[in-house]
């Protein structure tokens, strides 16, 4: 990576579906009009990444040989993105048209008070995925897990707003967060006390402390497969519970 990199991105891996990952990687690598570099940080127990990705000149592959958690793995690139103007935190199951990056960057350029931007996110079937949220209370997390009090859940997801119009939400989902690199560095990335879950909400709280904003731009759409595992696997559920406890103790 040279000193003229305009945009960097980081995807954290853990036993990913290779087809989904390749689609995400190619979405980023097909961006034009920018010098770009992608970091693939692998928390998997074994290396399964195709050689064409490991050896790609625009990709740096980091194999951790253990699971560091999402936040710590994302933060491994903090000292490597100082020459980039924009930094994308990206999930391995997201796809998008390359031209959307330029649209989002133009918006970021024009909004000096915004640290991070996110687009409208859809499922592969085209259904809206509610990726902007209000800050949760502990009660909100419980009712979401139990799938009760739907009206309260919908309120937390801003469903009472016209989500085809841009606005400044309290929190955005970590599947696609396009930061101004200087702000991501100023935030010191994600709080590494979270192993998995809640780190995206936490960093939005930290953005508030910078007196900056988050921006939702629905004129741009991306696709997120969204493997919903947290409620199905006890280990993931316990990680979610642990992160929620840390979040509410902190904030």
Domain extent at residue 205: 7-136+163-227
pLDDT of residue 1: 44
Tens-digit pLDDT profile for residues 189-237: 999 999 999 999 999 999 999 999 999 999 999 999 987 654 457 888 8
DSSP letter for 113, please. Answer: T
The proportion of the chain whose per-residue pLDDT surpasses 90, expressed as a percent, equals 87
Flag whether 68 is in a domain: yes
pLDDT of residue 228: 60
Query: CB-based contacts of 9: which residues, under 8 Å, 6+ apart?
Result: 28, 36, 37, 38, 39, 87, 88, 89, 90
Flag whether 202 is in a domain: yes
Give me the chain's average pLDDT, please.
94
- How many independent structural domains does the chain possess? 1
Flag whether 49 is in a domain: yes
Confidence of residue 168 (pLDDT cuts 50, 70, 90): very high
- Reported pTM: 0.94
CA distance 53 to 26: 10
- Can you give the CATH number for the domain in which 28 is found? 3.90.550.10
């Amino acid at each position: 990576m040279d000193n003229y990199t305009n945009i960097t991105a980081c995807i954290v891996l853990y036993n990913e579906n290779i087809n989904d990952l390749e689609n995400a990687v190619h979405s980023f690598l097909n961006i034009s009009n920018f010098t770009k570099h992608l970091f693939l940080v692998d928390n998997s127990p074994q290396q399964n990444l195709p050689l064409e990705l490991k050896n790609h000149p625009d990709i740096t592959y980091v194999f951790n040989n253990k699971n560091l958690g999402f936040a710590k793995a994302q933060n491994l690139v903090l000292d490597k993105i100082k020459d980039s103007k924009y930094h994308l935190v990206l999930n391995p199951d997201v796809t998008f048209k390359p031209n959307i990056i330029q649209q989002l960057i133009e918006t970021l350029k024009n909004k000096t008070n915004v640290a991070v931007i996110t687009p409208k996110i859809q499922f592969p079937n085209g259904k809206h995925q509610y990726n902007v949220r209000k800050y949760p209370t502990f009660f909100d997390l419980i009712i979401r897990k139990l799938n009760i009090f739907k009206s309260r859940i919908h309120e937390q997801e801003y469903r009472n707003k016209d989500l085809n119009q841009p606005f400044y939400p309290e929190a955005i989902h970590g599947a696609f967060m396009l930061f101004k690199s200087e702000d991501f560095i100023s935030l010191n990335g994600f709080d590494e006390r979270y192993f998995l879950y809640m780190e995206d909400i936490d960093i939005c709280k930290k953005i508030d402390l910078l007196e900056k904003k988050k921006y939702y731009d629905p004129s741009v759409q991306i696709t997120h497969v969204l493997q919903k595992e947290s409620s199905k696997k006890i280990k993931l559920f316990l990680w979610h519970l642990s992160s929620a406890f840390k979040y509410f103790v902190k904030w």
